[in-house]
Amino acid sequence: MKQRVLSGMRPTGQLHLGHLVGALANWKQLQDTYECFFMVADYHALMSEYEHAERIAQATIDNVRDWLAAGIDPKQSVIFRQSDVPEHAELFTVLAIMTPLGWVERVPTYKEQLREVKGRDLATYGFLGYPVLQAADILLYKAHAVPVGEDQLPHLELTREIVRRVHAVLKTDIFPEPKALLTEAPKLLGVDGRKMSKSYDNAIELSAPEASVRADVQKMFTDPTRIKMSDPGHPDTCNVCGYWKMFAPERHARMWEECRTSTRGCAQNKKELGDVVVALTEPFRAARARHTTPELERILQDGAQKARAVARQTMAEVKRAVGLSLEAA
Ligand code: TRP
């Protein structure tokens, strides 16, 4: 029996190269080893976007299109939308009842978001429950492992604490304690050298048109100490050279050497990197034409059915254990 994995992404906008190297490449690989559930976390998106929620449904479809282009295979993995499986909200309710208030108030991401996010009112009852809903996502499928980036580790730790608490309250064990599969992806920097992020406006979107990909690469900063071509470059600290290493590993050694020895200039580097990134993102542009919206909706419906079959069973078990149902196992 394969162990089970669940992971999710919030549909808040277009996916970019950072999502590809950070999460999607990893998800694709996990499909061979684990039984995978990949979820579009639209309720989680709603928690922060509820005032502009009209974009969530379209972003959901666009994200799934990019997942398929990245090699996530609906025949192998269950791809579904959180709000299509009402058991997420049900299990959330039960977990919320048993989660001590102090635990959620302490979660560092919560305090940080309240402090940092401007222009949106996140001081809501629901947003406090963000990591509890995430725990419900994971536990509903009794996932053994959850691939996440470092920023999500506090949520996973809280999930494990909730599992122990629920088991102690109910005097019976229902859920495995999920472990984090830390995605040790190199941090991809944006075209301005800061962390790649939509909110910094420095991201290269996966399905961006070719011309805009080239223009983005053209904007990238190179080694600031290399003013003239005859100055030796420092590829270790140059973002463009970093991209070469990540996206054209077989060519980067020679290219770095030429940079260090001043036989290759930054302009040429960027121009050729444009070709590399255009080739890398080609499947995502092609996916736009290949998968129609009704087809992607069908994939989500099919995934929701499979997810619900599991979720319903877990929820029945939980209702018995908490004393809401008399039905035998
Ligand atoms: N909170 C996650 C993020 O922002 C998204 C998410 C929702 C998730 N539910 C999940 C990730 C369950 C892993 C497991 O990235």
What mean pLDDT do residues 3-20 have? 96
Q: Which amino acid is at 36?
A: C
- 80: which residues sit within 8 A by CB, 6+ positions away? 37, 38, 39, 40, 300, 303, 304, 306, 307
Q: Which residue(s) pair with 147 in the sheet?
A: 181
- Which of these CATH numbers, 3.40.50.620, 3.40.50.300, 3.40.640.10, 3.20.20.410, describes 4-188+292-322? 3.40.50.620
In a mutational test of the pocket of ligand 1, which residue from 15, 134, 151, 181 has the highest number of ligand atoms less than 8 Å from its CB?
Answer: 134
Q: How far is the CA of 79 from the centre of ligand 1 (A)?
A: 14
Instruction: Please state, in angstroms and rounded to a whole number, the distance separating the CA atoms of residues 73 and 291.
Output: 13
**Confidence bin at 270 (pLDDT 50/70/90):** very high
Label residues 93-102 b or e (16+ Cβ within 10 Å = b): ebbbeebeee
Give tens-digit pLDDT for 148-191: 988 899 999 999 999 999 999 999 999 999 999 998 777 789 99
Contact 15, 63 (CB under 8 A): yes
- Give SS3 for 195: strand
Point out the ligand 1 atom lying closest to the alpha carbon of residue 155: 1
Q: Which amino acid is at 250?
A: E
Instruction: Report if pTM > 0.85.
Output: yes
Q: Which residue CA neighbors atom 9 of ligand 1 most closely?
A: 134
Indicate the average pLDDT of the chain.
94
Contact 48, 234 (CB under 8 A): no
Q: What is the DSSP letter of 231?
A: S
Ranges for all domains in the chain classified under CATH 1.10.240.10: 210-287
Q: How far is the CA of 131 from the centre of ligand 1 (A)?
A: 8
Give tens-digit pLDDT for 189-239: 999 999 898 888 899 999 999 999 999 999 999 988 998 989 999 999 999
Q: How many CA atoms lie within 13 A of 123 on its CB side?
A: 5
Q: How far is the CA of 276 from the centre of ligand 1 (A)?
A: 30
The CA-based angle 104-115-60, given to 5 degrees, is 75
Q: How far is the CA of 205 from the centre of ligand 1 (A)?
A: 20
Ranges for all domains in the chain classified under CATH 3.40.50.620: 4-188+292-322
Q: How far is the CA of 284 from the centre of ligand 1 (A)?
A: 23
pLDDT of 329 strictly over 70: no
Give tens-digit pLDDT for 280-307: 999 999 998 899 999 999 999 999 999 9
Q: Which residue CA neighbors atom 3 of ligand 1 most closely?
A: 9
Tell me, what's the pLDDT at 184? Answer: 76
Q: Which amino acid is at 313?
A: Q
Instruction: Please state, in angstroms and rounded to a whole number, the distance separating the CA atoms of residues 272 and 293.
Output: 34
Neighbour count for residue 166 (Cβ, 10 Å):
23
Label residues 275-300 b or e (16+ Cβ within 10 Å = b): ebbbebbebbbebeeebeeeebeebb
The CATH number given to 210-287 is: 1.10.240.10
- 202: which residues sit within 8 A by CB, 6+ positions away? 190, 191, 192, 194, 196
pLDDT of 256 strictly over 70: yes
Tell me, what's the pLDDT at 25? Answer: 93
Which carries the bigger pLDDT value, residue 328 or residue 241? Answer: 241
Cβ < 6 A, ligand 1 pocket: 6-10, 41, 44, 134, 137-138, 146, 148, 152
Give tens-digit pLDDT for 64-121: 999 999 999 999 999 999 999 999 999 999 999 999 999 999 999 898 888 888 888 9
Give tens-digit pLDDT for 30-56: 999 999 999 999 999 999 999 989 999
Q: Which residue CA neighbors atom 6 of ligand 1 most closely?
A: 8
